[in-house]
Chain A
Amino acid sequence: MKKYTFTEKKDTRSGFGAGLAELGRSNPNVVALCADLIGSLKMEKFIEENPERFFQVGIAEANMIGIAAGLTIGGKIPFTGTFANFSTGRVYDQIRQSVAYSDKNVKICASHAGLTLGEDGATHQILEDIGLMKMLPGMTVINTCDYNQTKAATIAIAEHHGPVYLRFGRPVVPVFMPEGEFEIGKAIVLTEGTDVTILATGHLVWEALQASEQLEALGISAEVINIHTIKPLDEAAILKSVAKTGCVITAEEHNILGGLGESVARVLVQNKPVPQEFVAVQDSFGESGTPDQLMEKYGLNAAAIVKAALKLKGK
């Protein structure tokens, strides 16, 4: 089985900042907006290099989304930046009408998604954003797993015409994906296996890789697939893997309702029903704590994935 290692840990939001800075140099139509969270979103470099193409809107997210929609008229490609909670739930109707229904080329870039936001607690830890965004017709939903993938995704979405929700996070996590390429909607098989398929997104991808090594030691061959794009979902890749393994685990830093797991369940039930385990938050809010403590308490780590695999395999 292919082994993944890392030499450094970095936050995915810094990958966003680096990607945005690169876009600032390569694409004159890219503009950025922020609602009073420049440092948190790592947007400093873009702003320093392109002050005329940056708009600070203050603590007014609804206005930010509307302005972004307007900026597309005239050919700009706006990237909005704030926390995932304020990027989605707070501005759902603005995104729905002014962006998605109006087919505007806005990139909604959301940091601090999920429990790993940590100590600020449940007011800021949105666990429903993937569901909210994937329900909007025409919306592309991406949840990246490490610095390199977030940087590559940030650059890639500028080339895609249409609204995109790009979700990433706060903590430093292992950097293990190669630099460069990012293809929207194309799942990445990280390890090939025969006994169980693990479909992971965001911070859970690294956990899935750790789980696969532990499972190997237990005699279970896991196929880990990086589902960075939740919509459009790479159905072919999922069905191909499941045809081989016959069972699946979905793993995500999101509520069990409305997330990746439900999207996968729909694909399976319509094509090839197989047993599925959901590693996700069990329909609750989060709370204060360190990211590691929270991921353990809410069952979102390698140990939880191993447990799910053992259950599927009747061990």
Chain B
Amino acid sequence: MKKLQELVQQTRRDIVRMVHKVNSGHPGGSLGCTEFMVTLYNKILDLNEQFTMDGKGEDLFFLSNGHISPLYYSVLARKGFFPVSELNTFRLLNSRLQGHPTTHDGLPGVRIASGSLGQGMSVAIGAALSKKLNGDKHLVYSLHGDGELQEGQNWEAMMFAAGKNVDNLICTVDYNGQQIDGATKDVMPLGNLKKKFKAFGWEVVSIKEGNDIEAIVKGMHKAKGKTGQGKPVCVLLHTVMGHGVDFMMHTHAWHGKAPNNEQLAKALEQNPVTLGDY
């Protein structure tokens, strides 16, 4: 657990340094999901040693809210998918680390482009169906923003996954209540997500402390326990946007804004543990 905590701090350092360097990118959602993604890749997913696009015989993960790419890239690099030094190329010309994730440049770990929102759940369902056809018992995981659920395609996908018993799928919603223009309740109220997923026929697991590693491990094990029983599983992950950097927390202001030099120093000060910056 201590190691994961250290990795979380290092990942936070990576995120703020990446967006600071190019003065662009999305730190808020990245920081809010750091504990989740670090835990998922290091405690939950059963991964093969070598990355292959087909990912047979291993768990798969799809990032639907592609704008939290700084987090995704840091987690993948620190897991060994590609050199940590490559984080230095985030959003630069000729980089494999595009503003939003893509398969186009052959970055190991990424299986689908995302950024235009609302498409990831359908893709995850397709991959889950492929696993079933292949007799592969591994699971498919995905992460979605809560604001992203305003895209109608998600509701098509939700209907399908439940109606067609896609029960090897765990879709997690980053339930931080924020989006670019403000709080989701003001921009476009999501209503009661738990009731909505349930009404569509999903199993729902709520992780109230979505920035707590132990709570995440517990919640994801619970979610895994609900797979294979005829229903898709939704995890409502209650997070705080910008978590771990105090001035970025509890606001949508840092959704897509980079820190200046002074703010970067402050953010790093608040996350002093390093396993070696890139």
Contact = CB atoms under 8 A, between A and B. Distances in A.
Interface in B156-212: 156-157, 159-160, 163-164
A74 B103 contact: no
A76 B133 contact: yes
Given A60-B159, A93-B116, A98-B113, A66 B133 contact: no
Q: How big is the A interface, by class?
A: 20 to 34
A55 interface: yes
Contacts of B126: 66-73, 78
A66 B121 contact: yes
B122 A101 contact: no
B125 A74 contact: no
A60 B130 CA distance: 19
Given A63-B160, A94-B119, A71 B153 contact: no
B56 interface: yes
Contacts of B60: 73
A98 B159 contact: no
Nearest to B114: A97
Nearest to A74: B130
A67 B125 contact: yes
Given A66-B125, A69-B112, A97-B114, A76 B153 contact: no
A52 interface: yes
B159 A58 contact: yes
A90 to B, nearest CB: 11
Interface in A93-141: 93-94, 96-98, 101-104
A226 B174 CA distance: 52
B26 interface: no
5 contacts: A53-B133, A67-B129, A70-B125, A97-B115, A102-B103
Contact of B54 (A57, A66, A75, A78): A75
Contacts, number: 119
Interface in B106-144: 111-116, 119-131, 133-134, 136
A97 B127 contact: no
Contacts of A68: 126
B69 interface: no
A296 B114 CA distance: 45
Contacts of B122: 62-67, 69-70, 94, 98
B43 interface: no
A102 B66 CA distance: 13
Contacts of A103: 103-104
A70 B113 contact: no
Interface string B77-120: 00000000000000000000000001110000001111110011
Given A62-B152, A73-B55, A74-B136, A102 B131 contact: no
Contacts of A52: 133
A308 interface: no
Contacts of A70: 62, 112, 122-130
B265 interface: no
Interface of A: 31, 52-53, 55, 57-58, 60, 62-76, 78, 93-94, 96-98, 101-104
A232 B120 CA distance: 30
Given A57-B160, A66-B125, A67-B126, A74 B112 contact: no
A93 B117 CA distance: 10
A98 B54 CA distance: 15
Nearest to A60: B156
Given A70-B127, A73-B126, A74-B55, A58 B111 contact: no
B133 A73 contact: no
B53 interface: yes
Contacts of A60: 156, 159-160
Nearest to A53: B133
* Most central of A65, A67, A71 by chain B CB within 10 Å: A67
Nearest to A52: B133
A43 B63 CA distance: 33
Contacts of A101: 102-104, 113
